[in-house]
Amino acid sequence: MRGILVAAIAVVVGTGCGSLDFQRPGSVVIYGRAAPLDQSWFGLVPPGDPPSVVGFGSDGVGCLDGSPGTQVAWYDGSPAQGGKPRQIIGRIPADGASLVLWVEIVDEGRLEFGQGVPDWWVGEPQTC
C-alpha cells in the first residue's frame, strides 16, 4: 500500500497519547515520521467538527477517536481549511477495537504506511 505525498509531514496536532496500559475503544494510534518540509494531515472520514486529524514532524505519534467502521485517510490539506481525503489508509475495526497505524514519508515524498508499531519507533509503544 503506497501513495504519493506532495507535502512532507509537519507538527503533531490532536489528542495526546501516553504509554498507558489500555486503549480506548475506537481509538486510532498513528505513528509518523518524515523530513519536516511541510504539513501532511491524517484523520477520520468524515473529519468531524472539530476535525479529528493529526499532522507530523520529523517523528511523532497522535491519537484519534472514532466509531467502528470509520475510515482513516491521508488528507490533501487540513480538513479545517477544506482539505479532502486523498487516500484511505485504514478503518477502525467493526468491533470497536483500537487500530495502530504508521505512516512514513520516504524518498521523493512517497507515502508508505502499515499497521502496528513501526520498526523505526524508539521507546515504548504508545496508547490512547
Would you call the peptide bond into 50 cis, given omega within 30 degrees of 0 as the criterion?
yes
Output the pTM of the full model: 0.76
CA 109 vs CA 37, 38, 45, 78: distances in Å:
10, 11, 23, 18
- Give pLDDT, residue 14: 39
Write out pLDDT tens, residues 107-116: 777 789 999 9
- What residues pair up with 41 in beta bridges, in sequence order? 55, 75
- Give pLDDT, residue 17: 46
Write out pLDDT tens, residues 48-103: 777 788 887 678 899 999 989 999 999 888 888 888 999 999 999 999 889 999 99
- Give pLDDT, residue 41: 86
